[in-house]
Amino acid sequence: MTMKTLFLQAPSFEGFDGGAGSRYQAKREIRSFWFPTWLAQPAAMIPGSRLLDAPPADITVEETLRIAAGYELCIMHTSTPSFPSDVRMAEMLKAHYPKMMIGLVGAKVAVEPEESLQASPAIDFVAREEFDYTLKEVAEGRPLAEVDGINYRDSNGLLVRTPDRAMIEDMDALPFVSEVYKRDLHIEDYFIGYLKHPYISFYTGRGCRSQCTFCLWPQTVGGHRYRTRSAASVIEEVKYIQKAFPQVQEVFFDDDTFTDDRPRAEEIARGLGKLGVTWSCNAKANVPYETLKVLRDNGLRLLLVGYESGNQQILNNIKKGLKVEAARKFTADCHKLGIAIHGTFILGLPGETKETIQQTIQFAKEINPHTIQVSLAAPYPGTYLYNQAKEQGWLTEEDEAHMVNDRGVQISPMSYPHLNHTEIFDSVEVMYKKFYFRAGKIAEITGEMLRSSQMMKRRLREGVEFVRFLRQRHG
């Protein structure tokens, strides 16, 4: 008999997006939340389960404890920044419900399973690798010793590691996560500033062929081989979304790099075009004009593009596999086709100097994506960047413990002899100001607001939130 299972993203810092779909676990410049896809997927495989995503729904610890009553198994997603508070939540659950089995998932516990188990006796097991079928087997009552892909605490208190679980090859066998969204979530709670609202996001495949040294999911859970669902499966889920969520304005494909398989991306796009869907996705800044045109002609509105830096040596240092000039051409092609771009940049990567920061700012202004996101280099455990930063002395033990401040805002854990924490941290605000507070960009945003009263309200709200965020960065 299947255990009554609760999938939980626990309450955290106000506005903290560290959920089971977030690549950078931190409080954003404006209130935003990604769908908890990594929890929704196994939840879709376990009959009678419930997915409780506390942060976007503003559910308190007390409410969470009340909701958890009657559940036999609780699966919590955790991350490096949220781990201490997630452990406290696990301890409160165990204190209230001593017979409840508690397991943790996420990149943090995947790469540090023993250390995570040792953090508290309230944690019964942690799941490594891809954990969808792992959790299904646990919920079905299989003895933990017979479940691949976990570390657990046995009846004598000893820590046991089971064999690694094989990667999932048949991605079409996984049920639709959007059915769990319909059952358990209020989709209007999920907001991303550069996507139409309400939106829905899900994965059409896992893994990323790129070797970026900082990127968390491919190095810890998803792998570097792009394993995909068939185009027919993706189209069927979009059809379900259209029927179940008629209010949805945009579908976002959250694959690390949806455009890695261009023929498949074009096939999916043509299917979406027949449905009349507005959609967006993650892309690398190397997609040729011909493919971009096919995607645009079939409903593509926006691409989320990781530029990271405007300095070629830094791109080489992080194994981005991208030339600055190729990124320039790609961006110009998108502008020509009318495809919006949300460009993401990272400051403080290996090789960063005061001069390269200015070079990146200038590069961003020249290519002029519609919107930008500026993050600080975050050496998450399990990544090449983490090991490199430890070996080179860029990351001390004290700094490692502080990825975010006490308000959940990202801080700069890495520093260099020629570039300290404060200089890197302050450069984020400088870049935002220099990118947005220039005549051409102000005119562009003002024109956008004047064309739509709804957009005006949204941008004004975002402006207020951004000012509040800047204040919280500085305490």
Q: What is the pLDDT of residues 295-328, one digit of tens each?
A: 999 999 999 999 999 999 999 999 999 999 999 9
pLDDT value of position 289: 98
Q: Which residues of 388-417 are buried (b: 16+ CB within 10 A; e: fewer)?
A: bbeeeebbeeebbeebbbeebbbbbbbbbe
pLDDT value of position 332: 98
Range of weakest confidence among 24-33, 75-84, 312-321: 24-33
Range of weakest confidence among 376-385, 387-396, 464-473: 464-473
Residue pair 414/424 in contact by the 8 Å Cβ criterion: yes
Mean pLDDT of 6-35: 64
Mean pLDDT of 264-289: 98
Is pLDDT above 70 for 30?
no
Is pLDDT above 70 for 464?
no
Residue pair 37/254 in contact by the 8 Å Cβ criterion: yes
Q: State how far the Cα of 362 lies from the Cα of 431, in Å rounded to an integer.
A: 9
Is pLDDT above 90 for 21?
no
> Which residues sit opposite 231 in a β-bridge?
none
